[in-house]
Chains A and B, each alone.
Chain A
Amino acid sequence: MNKKQAPLSQQEALRTAVSTSERPKNAGPVSASLTFGGRMLLKIKYVPEQLFDITAFPIIFLLMFTYLFGGAIAGSTEAYLQFVLPGVLVLTVVMITMYTGIELNNDITKGVFDRFRTLPVWRPSVLVGALLVDLVRYSIASAIMITLGFILGFRPEGGVVGVLLGVAVLLVFAFSLSWIWTTLGIVMRSEKSLMGVSMMVLFPLTFISNVFVDPETMPTWLQPLVEINPVSLLVVAVRGFMGGEAALAEVGWVLLVSFLLVLIFAPLTMYLYYKK
């Protein structure tokens, strides 16, 4: 190895590398979103622990609620499982949507976002890419929980199609809800404050619902509140599909709420993202 030649070839390599005048047509919106999604997947490669939320949560939640409440509420855990699984599935996925905002809050303060914002690509693609990867995460969480449920004795009347439709409507809602967290992820100054606010929203939203018990057992003043909770509507919709009797009215409501969430929070997120 001739050491004296090394710097020269380095110099030439530098000159060659910078004198490239190749100017491809920039990535389109779909391609850019998928590329940014790929970035999120690469991060999982380096920190696999971040999959903890979508693997452990579904298992812990399902076991915990089934065996904790089963006997008391439905007389047997097996009977309760048929009722509670769609609810716990909704609760789990809705809960883990929160990580979208935390991830963004972590990410956005870093210098790399300055570069992304100066790239000639469709502006929302960074966020859309991240949300697409989240859909994959929600799907994995759903698959894990439903598989475990099946082992424990969950037998949905709606069959495979019903289960898939139930998950689909859940994913639509989760995707739409995520835009609230992206908005907060940009506004909040720290991960801790973001966690606090998210919890404050998510706990009442998921627990003051029909996830665990039939609302008819609740005090009359509480019932209307539970019934208009979008999470309750979603649970009815998912239960409907999985139970073989589609609750189309609730599905309609869920889709409407989802649409409104995106309509309000997607542009708001983008506005804040570019103002930051």
Chain B
Amino acid sequence: MDSKAEEQRAAVVVKGLVKTFGTTRAVDGIDLEVPKGTVYGVLGPNGAGKTTVLRILATLLQPSEGRASVFGHEVVEGAAFIRKRISMTGQFASVDKDLSGLENLHLIGRLMGFTRARAKVRAHELLHAFGLEEAAKKQVKQYSGGMQRRLDIAASIVVTPDLLFLDEPTTGLDPRSRNQVWEIVRTLVSTGTTVLLTTQYLDEADQLADRIAVIDQGKVIAEGTSGELKASVGTGKVHIRLQDPAQRPLAAQLLQQKLGTAVNYSSSASGLTAQVAENNLAVHMLEELDKAGIAVSDFSVGKPSLDEVFLTLTGRSAERAEEMEAEA
């Protein structure tokens, strides 16, 4: 692919990016390409280098090696251009906690070039849309975590950016606030904004991101759609529960013969699990069981979770992944 075409298609292109702090290589040769109009998730544990990549792309840090461009402009030379088209919501509230929500949004509006009156209207519009109208005149330090996060995102879209960076947008939020943030991100993307977000939550990447890069120790260890990542780990798994436990051996034999897949008994007396390569095989299973007169009480096809993907890829963070699950 030549670089011109790549520029038109991609919001972000990163090649061989390295960032060192002293002797630590926080980012150690990363390649990324974020297509315009999509949500791109950068997934990884704490200290993997996610935030550093984001800060480089947001023109807050300079790369040590390699190149990074946003809308075809290099992050160092084109910083002024890039700042006109991006917004950044940092990991820790990037709003002024000493001011009120209204004052924060008004401030950003004025800096972006709105008149006083227009900035005020826009601020109220956003406060309303983000459910913060009632807290408009309170100091942000009195807001809950979820409210701060919403205000933070609101501040990022006072003028709708072409590319929005969200650094761990839901870390530390309760499930309800997290769902609100997800809703905001989905709405934003539906209106054409590209979103690049980092997360430690596999669930979040799965829910929001069109494509995901899994980062560990400054390197991309896997990249693709959520489906591709799951497929790279293994095929889907079918869970079957029979009405009559006595029919289990028969069912197992039948499925093994007709479909040639490995069938295992699961821990419950009437349960079976089978690995399938394609989903339509699972449909055939149901047909075969029905023909043989075996009644099924429960049937589900599950893809491997991103947790499994992450564990398979990194191999060493079972404990951490569990912690993350607990937090999520």
Q: Which residues of A contact B (CB under 8 A)?
A: 10-11, 13-27, 31-32, 35-36, 38-39, 42-43, 46-47, 110-112, 114-115, 117-121
Known: A14-B184, A39-B96, A111-B94. A26 touches B113 (CB 8 A): yes
In the bound complex, CA of A47 to CA of B191 (Å): 40
State whether the Cβ of B114 lies closer than 8 Å to any Cβ in chain A. Answer: yes
State whether the Cβ of B159 lies closer than 8 Å to any Cβ in chain A. Answer: yes
Nearest-CB residue, chain B, relative to A19? B191
Asked if B111 and A13 sit within 8 Å, CB to CB, the answer is: no
Q: Which residues of B contact A (CB under 8 A)?
A: 55, 58-60, 80, 83-84, 86-88, 90-99, 103, 107-108, 110-114, 118, 122, 125-126, 128-131, 139, 155-157, 159-160, 183-184, 187-188, 190-191, 193
Asked if A27 and B113 sit within 8 Å, CB to CB, the answer is: yes
The prevalent SS among residues of A at the interface is helix
In the bound complex, CA of A119 to CA of B158 (Å): 12
A-B contact pairs, 30 of them (CB 8 A): A15-B191, A17-B125, A17-B129, A17-B130, A18-B191, A18-B193, A19-B191, A20-B125, A21-B160, A24-B118, A27-B110, A31-B110, A35-B107, A35-B110, A38-B110, A42-B103, A43-B99, A46-B99, A46-B139, A110-B92, A110-B97, A111-B93, A112-B96, A114-B60, A114-B88, A115-B94, A118-B60, A118-B88, A119-B83, A120-B83
Residue numbers in A under 8 Å from B83 (CB-CB): 118-120
Known: A118-B83, A118-B88. A18 touches B157 (CB 8 A): yes
Residue numbers in B under 8 Å from A15 (CB-CB): 187, 190-191
In the bound complex, CA of A270 to CA of B166 (Å): 26
Known: A118-B83, A120-B83. A18 touches B110 (CB 8 A): no
Known: A24-B113, A121-B111. A14 touches B183 (CB 8 A): yes
In the bound complex, CA of A10 to CA of B187 (Å): 12
Among B60, B91, B129, B159, max chain A CB count under 10 A is at: B129
Asked if A42 and B80 sit within 8 Å, CB to CB, the answer is: no
Asked if B129 and A19 sit within 8 Å, CB to CB, the answer is: no
In the bound complex, CA of A117 to CA of B61 (Å): 11
Residue numbers in A under 8 Å from B112 (CB-CB): 24, 26-27, 119-120
Q: How far is the CB of A40 from chain B (nearest CB, A)?
A: 10
Residue numbers in A under 8 Å from B187 (CB-CB): 11, 14-15, 18
Nearest first, the 10 A-B pairs at minimum CB distance are A17-B129, A24-B113, A115-B94, A13-B129, A111-B94, A111-B92, A120-B83, A120-B84, A19-B191, A14-B129
Known: A18-B160, A18-B191. A118 touches B99 (CB 8 A): no
